[in-house]
Amino acid sequence: MADSSNQGSKEMEPTSSRAAVPVGFFVALIVLVYWSTLYLDSNAGGFNAKVYEPFASFDMVKAIQPKGNLDPRFEKGRVAYATYCSPCHQNNGGGSPGQFPPLAGSDWVTAEGPNRIIRLIMNGLAGPIVVNGVDWNPPAQMPPWKDVITDDEELACLVTYIRGESEWGNSASSVTAEQVEAIRAETASRPTPWTQGEIFETSEQ
């Protein structure tokens, strides 16, 4: 006679099965992953290293940044300055002690009108000059640029930049190509650099 207890235990043993996982399980898993991604994207802050409290996004950070001078002519003048002027007058407009006077805060640059500084750039300067009450006697004369910067608009942008670069403390008015064109025509026959005395005698600010 068979042992009924042994038969019961055999019937309770687990068995392998090839039954398929319900499709609904995969659908639910995909929906869960998708929802989790959306949640993290909305609440994880983007992990932008430039964003700190109390700001919630990089757009908020950008909105409070100083805008500077947004005039495209000003930016064109910045490029011209880096090309023609910075080797002597430095990137910060501070000049070089005993050699090249500063443009930052210079009374020549920030005068009410741009005529004198335009003339100096076009024909150059020879001899001593007084800048902000300080005597300068550069060892070499300032070269003329009229035959190098032949585009009146480019020269106007250059003068606009050095007169309006707020990081140097300058805030003088901008310059137009027409102003440059007029002085170029007026001084077309001049072959030599200016001296300070000549500049004061021949031009208004």
The per-residue pLDDT for range 79-99, each reduced to its tens digit, is 999 999 999 999 999 999 989
Query: d(Cα 129, Cα 69) in Å, to the nearest integer?
Result: 30
Residue 98: the pLDDT is 87
For residues 190 and 124, the answer to whether their CB atoms sit within 8 Å is no
The total number of residues written for the chain in this structure: 205
Q: Which two tokens stand for residue 35?
A: 């929802």
Alpha helices in the chain (DSSP H): 4-12, 23-43, 58-63, 72-84, 86-89, 115-123, 152-164, 177-186, 196-202
Contacts 24+ apart (CB under 8 A), 103-108: 103/162, 103/168, 103/170, 104/165, 104/168, 104/169, 104/170, 105/132, 105/168, 105/169, 105/170, 106/131, 106/132, 107/131, 107/132
Q: Strands 134-136 and 129-131: what pairing?
A: antiparallel
Q: Is the pLDDT of residue 17 over 90?
A: no
Residue 127: the pLDDT is 92
Q: Nearest CA to 120 among 112, 108, 131? A: 108
Domain edges within the chain: 26-65, 72-202
Task: Write down the mean pLDDT value for the chain.
Answer: 83
Residue 188 burial (CB count, 10 A)? 9
The per-residue pLDDT for range 46-75, each reduced to its tens digit, is 555 555 666 666 667 666 665 555 678 899
Residue 192: the pLDDT is 94
Give, for 131, the enclosing helix (H) or strand (E): strand 129-131
Q: What share of the chain is helix, strand, coil (3-state, %, to 5)?
A: 50, 5, 45
Architecture of domain 72-202: Orthogonal Bundle (1.10)
Residue 50: the pLDDT is 59
pLDDT tier, 25 (very low <50, low <70, confident <90, very high otherwise): confident
Query: d(Cα 158, Cα 81) in Å, to the nearest integer?
Result: 6
Higher pLDDT among residues 3 and 15, named by residue = 15
